[in-house]
Structure 1
């Protein structure tokens, strides 16, 4: 029986997600079982540093250089903490799989800049603190063979969610929304995956602007608002919504600067803003998935957006023939999904096996993802 910890820090900047996972072989398959999960929130000071590092205006090389080591320290401490909670030492782990904090993601060339991505959180520090092997930097190798480096989790979704009776679409709603389409009785090459657009990112920015709250708990603000059709039409006209896959996006398209420009162009009550942004997320998902829906489709929602009841209601309205459920309906964890996925990818890397999905990322071939830092 082997144990590993998966670490994830996403575009929502909530904190560090840590999943302790038990792995055991069942024939030629590895079974992954969640033992424990926790989120270590970032302090306001750390969140500001990360936010500044994401900004083309406020970022600088000194900040990113320091932050790489500061986050590595925090990631390592997160590993130790979740192990201590479960009465084990981190040195007992087979490995730690760390996604790192994305600072910038440029999936296609832009002007003088080449296609590239940057995740930070120094693996050497994690290895020293946790006293075990660390697998990190999963996106780079896919981009080296022509992929967009995202979505990164479809391989894990194929292993963990494939159904013999229905098509399943794994819809993660974090800061950005991304979907993995797993057809009924799928083979790995049958998978499709792409970002559908913003998830909570615009909603969260509006909540911070109007209410000094980090997010719309349960969708309560959106539930009280009215939809502004003019704004909604403008949002649905965003160039990303019209793109076909493979496609990826991020804070560069839908972050703080995008919201600031919107706020300068329209006037309406706070809850109308939040309601319209929430419907935009739902409509963007529905539009992106429309070509792939079959009569027997289950949309399994994960990430922070799965707790937004207003958003879930909107998804059901936009896709009336689809069974919309959350991870917990399958006995799984919405919060832990992506951290568990890191463990699956890490295990493949340790075993020197590929784990990108070229049909999802546009890569020219399957490759082994990640870099290994041995302790």
Structure 2
């Protein structure tokens, strides 16, 4: 059956949409990617989302409206995808959408309960495209005592696990996260966020260069590491937390980057970009050396997400991992950009089959649970 996956991540650089032909479920899943399209995030929409994510500047009425605005934007993104690949909306069996994260509280903070909020109203998608929509994947895992993240590990287990091989799947989106596959044993899957991916680099590029990102790592390739800044970053409180753990914009977002850029304003802009890039690589290497390699020898590392296009970052990461082969999703025949959108198609498919799709060893949940809310077509 035909399905569409939608992913709008913490980088907010675009809306990833993927068209998939999918059959079966669990380890019997058969999946073929028909096409992918990145719908550009309008500048004004990005500004609205960033404001909504800000604890001081956000307003509930604006978030309420933004939920529907994003829903209509997701509809347009899906229509462009379907037109590109000559598919009619009536032929789509379901849509799986992650939504746009506004805030995520993985652990209790004072009187604030562990909770999460993604917006991009699924009813708008269901009505406009007259199809079933699966959304809000994180909340059931959190209801079961998990952190609601990371969720991608289940799809990675389905697609990449190999008998007698230990494989690390490293996603570098706004946030970096790793999934460790130990053979084909789901109970041994481990996953956690390694820290920032592109988030800090992108924000620093906006501040210092008025660019949305460091294209292919050209800026970071010209700079040198600022040791004082790197040392400060490596002593961030997140680095000391034990897995399973997750993070986001609340730890490594605009506020933190603006503070660092101002503190190190006497340094060369390119050196700040280089240092932030190296921090992403080094934070990944640190977590591997501390929590993975002492227990599991790795056969290979597969990198996905927007960071896989940053050649400087990939070179830094390879040095951090020594002789462990580092590949990208594209190297092995998958799309680095479509990875997370594909993951939510797989999870949505599991939901339709009344089958779990969280990995409790990764999120800390007490049970394997069926994820997602289902919005039925109105007609």
TM-score, normalising length: structure 2: 0.96
1:280 aligns with 279
Unpaired segments of 5 or more residues in structure 2? none
1:105 aligns with 104
What RMSD over aligned residues (CA atoms) do the two structures have, in Å? 1.3
Give, in whole Å, the separation in 1 of the partners of 2:229 and 2:255: 17
1:76 aligns with 75
Please tell me whether residue 370 in structure 1 is matched to residue 369 in structure 2: no
- Alpha-carbon shift at residue 164 of structure 1 (Å): 2.5
Unpaired segments of 5 or more residues in structure 1? none
Alignment of 1:132-147 (within 5 A): 132-147=131-146
2:313 aligns with 311
Runs of 4+ in 1 over 4 A off after TM superposition: 25-28
Please tell me whether residue 201 in structure 1 is matched to residue 203 in structure 2: no
Contact 2:360–2:366 (Cα < 8 Å) also in 1 = yes
- 1:295-337 deviation digits (Å, cap 9, x = unpaired): 4421100000000000000011111021111001111100000
1:346 aligns with 348
1:292 aligns with 292
Deviates more, 1:277-286 or 1:74-83: 74-83
Contact 1:295–1:322 (Cα < 8 Å) also in 2 = no
Give, in whole Å, the separation in 2 of the partners of 1:24 and 1:263: 49
Report the secondary structure of 1:338's partner residue.
Answer: helix
Give, in whole Å, the separation in 1 of the partners of 2:320 and 2:185: 29
Give, in whole Å, the separation in 2 of the partners of 1:176 and 1:278: 12
Contact 1:346–1:370 (Cα < 8 Å) also in 2 = yes
Report the secondary structure of 1:70's partner residue.
Answer: helix
- Alpha-carbon shift at residue 81 of structure 1 (Å): 2.0
- Alpha-carbon shift at residue 254 of structure 1 (Å): 0.4
2:249 aligns with 251
Give, in whole Å, the separation in 2 of the partners of 1:73 and 1:49: 15
1:124 aligns with 123
- Alpha-carbon shift at residue 77 of structure 1 (Å): 2.0
Give, in whole Å, the separation in 1 of the partners of 2:314 and 2:252: 21
Report the secondary structure of 1:98's partner residue.
Answer: strand
Provide closer, same or farther for how the CA distance between residues 124 and 311 of structure 1 changes in structure 2, counting only shifts above 3 A.
same
Report the secondary structure of 1:264's partner residue.
Answer: helix
Contact 2:6–2:16 (Cα < 8 Å) also in 1 = yes
Give, in whole Å, the separation in 1 of the partners of 2:145 and 2:199: 27
Report the secondary structure of 1:152's partner residue.
Answer: coil
1:23 aligns with 22
TM-score, normalising length: structure 1: 0.97
Report the secondary structure of 1:4's partner residue.
Answer: strand
Provide closer, same or farther for how the CA distance between residues 259 and 348 of structure 1 changes in structure 2, counting only shifts above 3 A.
same
| Number of residue equivalences | 373
